[in-house]
Structure 1
């Protein structure tokens, strides 16, 4: 499945790739020009043939209680503002808050911490 055009190379398309890490199934949203290899199933490295390294792991925001959905990634690729809800525990209480996320070539996605969602 193709989610959109790669924002960092001319002819790449962002594909949905199914991976298994630590026994859990996770989606990798990666450029069609990025090919990855792994020896242990956990650490993925680019192959020498890869011409782009853009990728977003579905679980990249899991420490905030958030797994990215395909529609959120598609919206990011189309340049839309994307607001996600995070969950955490603070003083033994469950706290939810919303933040904007944006594309990042280095990390896939980044959270914009200094802007509050109204």
Structure 2
């Protein structure tokens, strides 16, 4: 399944790939020009024939109670910014709040804290 054009290379498309990390199934939204390999199932590295390294892990915002859906990744790729609802469990209470996320070349996405 293709979600949109890669924001960092000319001819790449963002694909959905199924990966398993620490025994859990997770989606990896990665450029078609990025080829990833893993020897232990935890650390993924680019192969030598990769020309782009863009990726977004579905669970990249899991510490904030958020897993990114296909629809959200599509919107983020087309708009460059997306408002999401995050969760804080400070002091034993669940507090929901909204923040914007943007594309980040190194980490896939970043939260705008301003």
Question: What TM-score does the superposition give when structure 2 sets the normalisation length?
Answer: 0.97
Runs (5+) with no aligned partner, structure 1: none
RMSD: 0.8
In structure 1, the partner of 2:12 is 12
In the comparison of the two structures, how many residue pairs are matched? 114
Whole-angstrom CA distance in 2 between matches of 1:73 and 1:96: 21
Which structure is higher in helix share?
A: 2
Report deviation, 1:57.
Answer: 0.1
Q: Is the Cα contact below 8 Å between 2:15 and 2:29 reproduced in 1?
A: yes
- In the alignment, which residue of structure 1 is the partner of 2:89? 89
Deviation at 1:80?
Answer: 5.2
Instruction: Compute the displacement of 1:91 (Å).
Output: 1.5
List structure 1 segments (4+ residues) > 2 angstroms apart after TM superposition. Answer: none
Quick one: distance in 2 between partners of 1:8 and 1:100?
20
Residues 80, 103 of structure 2: 8 Å contact kept: no
Quote the Cα distance in structure 1 between the aligned partners of 2:4 and 2:111.
Answer: 21
Alpha-carbon distance in structure 1 between the residues aligned to 2:25 and 2:75: 23
The answer to which of 73-82 and 6-15 deviates more is 73-82
Map of 1:1-118 to 2, 5 A cutoff?
1-79=1-79, 81-114=81-114
The answer for unaligned runs of 5 or more in structure 2 is none
**Any idea what the Cα deviations from partners look like across 1:56-108, whole Å, max 9, x if unmatched?**
00000000111011111100110254111111211211111110000011110
Corresponding residue SS for 1:103: strand
